[in-house]
Amino acid sequence: MNLRYEDKSKLVEKVFNQVYDKYDLMNDIMSLGTHRMWKKNLISWMNPSKNTKIVDVASGTGDIAKLCSQNTKKSCAITCVEPNHKMFSKGRKRLKNLNNLKWVSAPAENLPFKSDTFDFYIISFGIRNVSDLDKSLDEAYRVLKNGGRFFCLEFSKVENEILKSIYKNYSKLIPTIGKFIAGSKMPYDYLVESIEKFYNQEEFAKKLVNRGFTNVEYRNLTNGIAAIHSGWKIE
């Protein structure tokens, strides 16, 4: 999707202003209901220990932050970063009882944190929506401590040919389903297109290497409908 920084930023804001109140249902539609399992797989691979500092970028309604908090019995410090004000308000209200969470409104391209701050950087279903991918990855690298780890959960490319055909046909129905549920087709047209045009698993892994991350690897989920990428900051 060859949009200028400003154009994509405005488009993404418009999309999420329309779907924020049905965001979790939207994820159910886009993932055939499996996104909760994928998120648990992410936390399992990440395996955060107590007293770690985590930044969760594009936090949405806070699913990942909640799972991290539960996994460490609220002993880790989690900073939730969400650029969309409506999503920000919904997520903060939803998780208001978790006192180990801090909420910050900022874009992935310009994080308001000192360098070498966090043990983990997580972005879940958000990386394909950033306006400047290279700058966002540079910011992720910058705010991680030396020895810190990057994790990204995102829709990816299906490897099984039969499942690829089934999912492609299903994807064509998503905007119509979205219009019925949310009252608007446009956000779902964008979301389907953004998935189709995003990098495949190997291409995104190379992007991480090019931005300085080492020991980059990925794991496919549900035959590649989604994938988790991981990389380390080692200097």
Domain with residue 92: its CATH number is: 3.40.50.150
Instruction: Supply the pLDDT for residue 214.
Output: 98
Percent share of the chain, pLDDT over 70: 96
Q: Per-residue pLDDT averaged across 16-27, rounded?
A: 75
Do 208 and 131 contact (CB within 8 A), yes or no? no
The average pLDDT across 26-54 equals: 87
Split into its structural domains, the chain has a count of 1
Instruction: Say how far residue 180 (Cα) sits from the centre of its chain.
Output: 25
Number of other residues whose CB lies within 10 A of the CB of residue 190 = 21
Of 11-20, 88-97, 194-203, where does mean pLDDT reach its minimum? 11-20
Strand order in the sheet with 214-221: 101-104, 77-81, 53-57, 118-124, 144-155, 226-232, 214-221
| Residue-level pLDDT at 105 | 96
Domain with 21, as residue range(s), is 5-232
Which tokens in the block code for residue 129? 């929506």
Given a cut of 60, whether residue 56 has pLDDT beyond it is yes
What pLDDT is stored for residue 21 in this prediction? 76
Model confidence at 6, pLDDT cuts 50, 70, 90, reads low
